[in-house]
Each structure stands twice: as C-alpha cells, then as structure tokens.
Amino acid sequence: MAISGKRILTKGAQGLTLGALVAGTVAFVGADKTVALTVDGQSQDVHTYGRTVADVLRTADVDVDSNDEVSAPLDSTVRTGSTVRVKLARSVTVDLDGEKRTVDTTADTVGDLAQQLGVSDDAELSLSKDVALASSTSQLSVVTPKRVTLDLAGQRSTVSTTATDVADLLKEQGVKPDSDDVVTPALNTVLTDGGSVAWQRVETKKKATTSDLAAGTITVKTDNLEQGETKTVRQATEGKRTTVSKLRYVNGKVVSTEVISSEITTKPTPKLVQVGTKAPEKESTAKHADESDSSSKKTSSSSKDSSSKDSETKDSASSASKDSSTSASGPSGSVDGVWQKLAQCESGGNWSINSGNGYYGGLQFTASTWAAQGGTKYAALPHQATAAQQVEIAKKLQAKAGWGQWPGCTAKLGLR
C-alpha cells in the first residue's frame, strides 16, 4: 500500500523573545500562553499570544485542511495548559474492484480505512483489518460484493460474489469448463454489479445403430413344376446395416447429428421361389376294342417300336443339341460343381439374375465388389457376364477374403 506523508511538521516553535515592552502594549497583544501540541504522535509546547487553536497551529507552522483531524474546532479558545491534537491525512493508494484509487485518510488501520471508504463488512480485503497503515508496505486490495445473474447449463440463479472475474466465479460455483464448453462472457472478463454469466456444457459422443435390410424375393422359372405351381426353395434372411453417428449435446440435449460411417455388416439373403413352366400332359385317346387282332397288334407294336426308337433318337439329338448350346452360350457353361451348388443356393442357379436389391448374378455380387475384383473387364455388372467369368472373379474374391463372403450358403454347403 503506497502511503505518503502529507506534510512535514516544523518541530521548533517560534520562540519569540520580546525585549522591553512599552508600557501598555500588553493590552494590545494579550498574555503569552503555553499550549501542548501533538501532531501525528509528536508533542511539543507552543508559546503563543494568540487566543484560538488556529493561532496555535499557525504559530507552530502546521497547515491543516478538511481531510485532517483536529481535536478541537479551529476557532476554539486556548489558554495556558490547553492541549491540541492533530492527525494529518496521508495519501493511500487502494485497488478497489480492479481500479486504483488514491485517497487521503487519517485512518490508523486497514479496518478504519475500509470504514471510511464505506466498504461493507462482507467485502474481501487483501490485508487484515488490524494492520497499521503507517507500517504496511503492501497495497490494499478491496473487492466489494456484486450481484451477478448466473445461467449454469440451463439452471438460472442470482448470486452475491466477491470473485474478480468470470473464471473465479465459475470456480467458486464448482464449475470447471473444458475446451468444448461455451462461456459468455470470456473467462478473463472482470465482473460488475448487475452483470450476467452463462455456461453451456457441450459434449460430443459417438453412437452406433443397427437397422434391418429387406431381403426381397427372387423367382426362378423351372420346368420341374407345372404352370401355376410354385415352390419356396429358400426362406429370406434379413441383412443388417450398422451406422455410426457423431452426436453433439448442449446441456444434455442433442442439437446435431452427423453420420460418420454406414456399412452392411450382414448381407441379406433373398427368398428363392421356383415358378413352374411345364405344360400339363394330354390324356391318351381311348383304343378301339378290336385291337385284339394279332396282326393289327403286331403292326401297331412294330409301328410303336419304330416310333419310339425315332422319338428316342430325336430326344437324344435334342438333348445333345441343348447340352452343346448350353456349353457354348448358356450362363452355366464350364462351371465346376462347387460354384454351381453355391449359385443354386444364392440365386437358384440363375446366372443372369438382377434381384433388385443391389445384388447381381448367380453368386450375388454387389456392383462395388465386382468392380473391385476387376469384373468390369467382362461386363459393367455381374449378371451381364457369363457364368465362367463370374466364377473367375468369385475365385479371386475367395482367395483374398475366404468363403465368408457368402456366409449363409457356404455354411449350408459345409465349405467353412
């Protein structure tokens, strides 16, 4: 605390030695008096012909003003033996709520000065109230209570505080803001009476959710069933998609959601239904009763045998032609047994199927997997390539990632 003496006391009294006085002058100047004068604890006797306290101070060369403290009014009458006490004001620098002020005071202690400044009892002082001002070398800091409106994560209140800034106030309230939180005004803002402070607790979390993927239905034509008949070969199995999102919370409530990733974690298996294409058989025409004739029977039998042989020859030729055609241009040509079985499970053996759910061909590739394994050198999409080409790409995928790329069917076929 910076304290400076206001004035220097002149210790030597003005001793006036009067020689021989002309008779009758006593009435003019009055009688000589001796008065005890104490200034800031230093005492001396002052001889004066004056009649008032002001005359005594003037004789001792002590100047006073309204900030000084005199034990009696300046116009009070003095006589020999009177005592006059003076406390001269000192200049003291005080830090009051962050602002430096210089005050003139006659206070002896910090407590006296605080009372002079009108500081309330619940103000915060940097020095004890009983510290003597004259002996202290530390600056006095005074923080007066302020009423501040608080909004802590949506909870509103009004508090009285001696905290100096926003950071101190939040610490006082047990709040520790982190780097994501929002504080208004800034933490280093000096508090003022009637001000307000808001703290919003901000959190960021990741959340994973799983959703179902519809499997759909694949229909395959077959001549093993008559027209109008259907047969469910495989039941559908729904797939799963896992989505990871980043959620932003303010005071415990979600205010924004951002999708970070989304991927199929379980591939759906569509329902496989066979639809019959076989035409119904016609009933044989009734035979005549006179077929008992042996000659007719032989002729008929011979004719039937010949016809049967011709039919068998034609069927054989037709079958050979079909096999040749399938091998040459059909989708399942030159496919070994394992891949044929796997295609039968995945798509009912239909190598040119587009199931409509993002999976193509006999082995149910996705377009992205087909492209990643180099399949586009044969066709833009898997179902547009031959069976052999689809199997070639599938073998590359299996060599890299194993049979788990077809989890359901390879498990049924005992491949893993």
* pLDDT attached to residue 392: 94
* pLDDT attached to residue 102: 87
Q: Model pTM greater than 0.85?
A: no
pLDDT by residue for the chain (416 residues), tens digit each? 555 555 544 433 333 333 333 334 444 445 789 999 999 889 999 999 999 999 999 998 999 998 899 989 999 999 999 999 998 888 888 888 777 888 888 888 888 888 888 777 778 887 888 888 777 777 788 888 889 999 999 999 999 898 889 999 999 999 999 999 999 999 999 888 899 999 999 999 999 999 998 888 888 888 888 888 899 989 999 899 999 999 999 999 999 999 999 999 998 999 999 888 888 776 544 344 444 444 444 434 444 443 343 433 334 333 333 333 333 333 444 577 899 999 999 999 999 998 788 899 999 999 999 999 999 999 999 999 999 999 999 999 999 989 988 988 998 888 88
* pLDDT attached to residue 334: 56
* pLDDT attached to residue 350: 93
Q: Which of 251, 151, 247 is nearest to 201 (CA)?
A: 251
